[in-house]
Chains A and B, each alone.
Chain A
Amino acid sequence: MRKRNNIIISFDDEVPLLQAVKILRESKEIITDVLSPFPVHGLDEALSIKRSRIPVVGFIFGALGAILAFGFQAWVFTVSYPLIIGGKPFFSVPTFIPITFEVTVLFAGLSMVAALLIRSRLKPDISFKPVDERITDDRFVILVDAADEKTTLNRVKSLLSGIHTLEIR
């Protein structure tokens, strides 16, 4: 991960956080990231985060699971080893449905979680160090990209002078 120069602005509540985000975006500051202890309502719109396509991943893999499960059962019962069980036909659609459904759900669920972990680059990593240890407790942080630290710092400080921040560094 490239080391960036970031201005760190901390808040203790999400209301000033949202106000600050709006002001910074209006002034065309580049916000690298916003960190919070819980998902803040309204933040997605303020940052113009596009709706994630994880559900699409789930749908595609679910459909794949459905086809695989149904096809496999059909193949087993019609081609590989047809057996007369309880007088039912070889291609017995009603009995294939439960497993098809379960495999669909399994594929959909696991693929979405995998997509989440991959896209957010979440993996077990002992060497991880957070920006501020209180973010997961009660701190809200905006990281602003600063090519030139000093001028950006002063600009940001003046923009956010009316808002209750904890610190800007």
Chain B
Amino acid sequence: MDEQFDFKKKYRNILLILITGGILVSLAAILISKPGASRIWANVLLNNQYFMGLSLGAAFFLAVHRVSQSGWHTVLQRLPDAMTTFLPVAFVLMLLIYFGIHNLYRWTDNNLSDKVIEGKKAWLNIPFFFIRLVVYFTGWIVLTRMMRKNSGALMTSSDLKYHNRKILFAGLFLVFYGITVSASSWDWIMSLDAHWYSTLFGWYVLIGMFVTSLAFITLLIWLLKRLGYLKYVRADHVHDMAILIFAFSIFWTYQWFAQYELIWYGHLPEETSYYITRVHHFKVIFFINLGVNFIVPFFGLITFNSKRQIGWVAIIAAIVLIGHWIDYWLMIMPAAAGDKAGIGLLEICMTLVYGCLFIFIVLRSLSTGPLVVKNDPYLEESLNYES
């Protein structure tokens, strides 16, 4: 129970080599294929959003479980905790958008004589955009840090006040997150299509974040088990993770459908422009998105036994991770890069770079403490959990 993850030099080096290699190949891809500044910055935005989403979704997972006093996840707590340590890095990376802001967002162009965008100037202007960015990240970083701090304090002392504080910060996080995930998705993604709007957008992104984080946590469990750790995480825990991935993939699909169907049905030009671009010019990717994020987890995790084998669930989780990357791609690329959008060496390498960076930071955070929380009042319950 006292096991600690040993972030061996071997793993560090592999990750660092992949990161360096990825950067080099990306640069080469840029020089050779000349994708244009918009597409490059769109990749930066896409990966920022995706990996920041993994951190936030992990915090959401913890917060919801703590507020509802669920015990089963206690044995897994350190994993999503570690994922939230990426947020400061995500903050810095998102600030970099400043340099590409004119390539990404049409509304930053002051010479546009566009009445619709003029009307939004109070919200969509560069200073306010960055003030909001700072506010979002500050709140997320501070609240997740407080959640981690109290979790850590509980491990050394057994004072229940830390446990209660964990729940308090979980509640505060949920309120702040609820508001800011909507607002940040409007700012960073929805405003790429400056004329378009959808009230569901924020919640759609929220669920996508949650499902991706669930998938990543599951993959982490698989990885750690392969390396010999987490022997006390049994089929019962895997079952519950699989149920969550199954259920929330269906919920994501429901939201996807709600947004699509209502816009399709209303047939209003100011709304349909979003889907026309995507369905007409990127038809294959559009339907692959739906297939991978719905069909695969639905049929892959529907039987009782399929949910209990970590190997199988990990495969589905990996597919879901790729699927939601495609979902973000569809949200961002057609709007930002237009004709130049595509999935090529540049996209793959940049995601690889970000991914390895994310894994590096998560594993490093994991290695700084025991893999299982101590003194948590729900720990015994979690270890003996039967589902």
Whether A97 and B261, one on each chain, are in contact in the complex, defined by CB atoms closer than 8 angstroms, is yes
Whether A51 and B264, one on each chain, are in contact in the complex, defined by CB atoms closer than 8 angstroms, is no
As a 0/1 sequence over residues 264 to 297 of chain B, the CB contacts with chain A under 8 angstroms (1 = contact) are: 1101000000000000000000000000000000
Whether B261 and A55, one on each chain, are in contact in the complex, defined by CB atoms closer than 8 angstroms, is no
B257 within 8 A of A: yes
As a 0/1 sequence over residues 249 to 269 of chain B, the CB contacts with chain A under 8 angstroms (1 = contact) are: 000000001001100110100
A97 to B304, CA, bound (A): 26
A95 within 8 A of B: yes
| CB closest chain-A residue, reference B261 | A94
Whether A55 and B265, one on each chain, are in contact in the complex, defined by CB atoms closer than 8 angstroms, is no
* Additional A-B contacts beyond A86-B265, A94-B257, A97-B261 (5; CB < 8 A): A55-B304, A86-B267, A87-B267, A95-B265, A97-B257
CB distance from A102 to the nearest CB of B (A): 13
A59 within 8 A of B: yes
B24 within 8 A of A: no
CB-defined contacts of B27 to chain A, threshold 8 Å: none
CB distance from B292 to the nearest CB of A (A): 19
CB distance from B88 to the nearest CB of A (A): 42
As a 0/1 sequence over residues 32 to 58 of chain A, the CB contacts with chain B under 8 angstroms (1 = contact) are: 000000000000000000010001000
Residues of A within 8 A of B (CB): 51, 55, 59, 86-88, 94-95, 97
Whether B265 and A94, one on each chain, are in contact in the complex, defined by CB atoms closer than 8 angstroms, is yes
Could you show 17 A-B contacts with beta carbons less than 8 Å apart? A51-B304, A55-B304, A59-B302, A86-B265, A86-B267, A87-B267, A88-B265, A88-B267, A94-B257, A94-B260, A94-B261, A94-B264, A94-B265, A95-B261, A95-B265, A97-B257, A97-B261
CB-defined contacts of B264 to chain A, threshold 8 Å: 94
| CB closest chain-B residue, reference A98 | B261
A63 to B304, CA, bound (A): 18
| CB closest chain-A residue, reference B266 | A86
A64 to B260, CA, bound (A): 26
Q: Is the interface of B mostly helix, strand, loop or mixed?
A: helix
CB-defined contacts of A86 to chain B, threshold 8 Å: 265, 267
Contacts between chains A and B (CB distance < 8 A), count = 17
CB-defined contacts of A88 to chain B, threshold 8 Å: 265, 267
Q: Is the interface of A mostly helix, strand, loop or mixed?
A: helix
A51 to B302, CA, bound (A): 15
Residues of B within 8 A of A (CB): 257, 260-261, 264-265, 267, 302, 304
CB distance from A82 to the nearest CB of B (A): 18
Q: Which of A59, A94, A95, A97 has the largest count of B CB atoms less than 10 A from its CB?
A: A94
CB distance from B181 to the nearest CB of A (A): 27
| CB closest chain-A residue, reference B254 | A101
A94 to B257, CA, bound (A): 8
CB-defined contacts of B267 to chain A, threshold 8 Å: 86-88
| CB closest chain-A residue, reference B260 | A94
CB-defined contacts of A94 to chain B, threshold 8 Å: 257, 260-261, 264-265
| CB closest chain-A residue, reference B386 | A41
A59 to B257, CA, bound (A): 22
A119 to B302, CA, bound (A): 23
CB distance from A98 to the nearest CB of B (A): 8
CB distance from A128 to the nearest CB of B (A): 32
CB distance from B385 to the nearest CB of A (A): 13
CB distance from A35 to the nearest CB of B (A): 24
A95 to B265, CA, bound (A): 8
**5 shortest interchain CB distances as A-B pairs:** A94-B261, A94-B264, A87-B267, A97-B257, A94-B260
CB distance from B251 to the nearest CB of A (A): 14
| CB closest chain-B residue, reference A94 | B261
CB-defined contacts of B261 to chain A, threshold 8 Å: 94-95, 97
| CB closest chain-A residue, reference B304 | A51
CB distance from A80 to the nearest CB of B (A): 22
CB-defined contacts of A59 to chain B, threshold 8 Å: 302
A94 to B304, CA, bound (A): 30
A86 to B268, CA, bound (A): 12
A55 to B304, CA, bound (A): 10
CB distance from B307 to the nearest CB of A (A): 12
A148 to B342, CA, bound (A): 80
CB-defined contacts of B257 to chain A, threshold 8 Å: 94, 97
A163 to B280, CA, bound (A): 73
CB distance from A34 to the nearest CB of B (A): 20
| CB closest chain-B residue, reference A87 | B267
CB-defined contacts of A55 to chain B, threshold 8 Å: 304
A97 to B260, CA, bound (A): 12
